[in-house]
Structure 1
């Protein structure tokens, strides 16, 4: 099982709305994530907008590809893109660059 951690930056003026959107994630999006192999998925948001994402999956590239093939993900990413800084035209899920794990206490 791969453990994946990534960082993104939420715009300071959109923090409250970002939190609100994630208090009611679309059921279809939740289903798609589960079916694509995203497990133990969490997002942590710091007050300055730093977003830390963590998930576990058997194969992250395959899990990303499965999500990219869903309509619900395309709609969710389009709605979420304006919340983020420095995406350089990419959708938020395309801007995810996993961090290198340097330690894990099993």
Structure 2
């Protein structure tokens, strides 16, 4: 199992809407994530910068790289594009974070 983290950027004024949309996560998105080997996925919001910090675990044989090709993920990205910084294909602008410390 591998843990990864990344950041994304929320547009101003959409804090409550972002949370609402994730509180109502579509079942097909949850199913695609599980099928790809993703678990224990959390997103945190930095209220001053509106930066979204995401951390998740994925299996060693994960298929996360294939998620962007799924219809469910494409629909989710289109649904979220109005409130987040995105690329032209609606995928979130994200930056990987490098692990520097871990304590269990």
Do they superpose with TM above 0.5?
Answer: yes
For 2:2 and 2:94, locate their aligned partners in 1 and report how far apart those are by CA, in whole Å.
15
TM-aligned CA deviation for residue 59 of structure 1: 4.6
Q: Secondary structure at the match of 2:13?
A: helix
TM-aligned CA deviation for residue 75 of structure 1: 0.3
Higher strand share: 2
The aligned residue for residue 57 of structure 1 is 58
The aligned residue for residue 26 of structure 2 is 26
Higher helix share: 1
What TM-score does the superposition give when structure 1 sets the normalisation length? 0.83
For 1:33 and 1:17, locate their aligned partners in 2 and report how far apart those are by CA, in whole Å.
22
For 2:63 and 2:18, locate their aligned partners in 1 and report how far apart those are by CA, in whole Å.
23
Q: CA RMSD in A?
A: 1.8
In structure 2, stretches of 5+ residues that fail to align are: none
The aligned residue for residue 89 of structure 1 is 88
Instruction: Give 4+ residue runs of structure 1 displaced > 6 Å after superposition.
Output: none
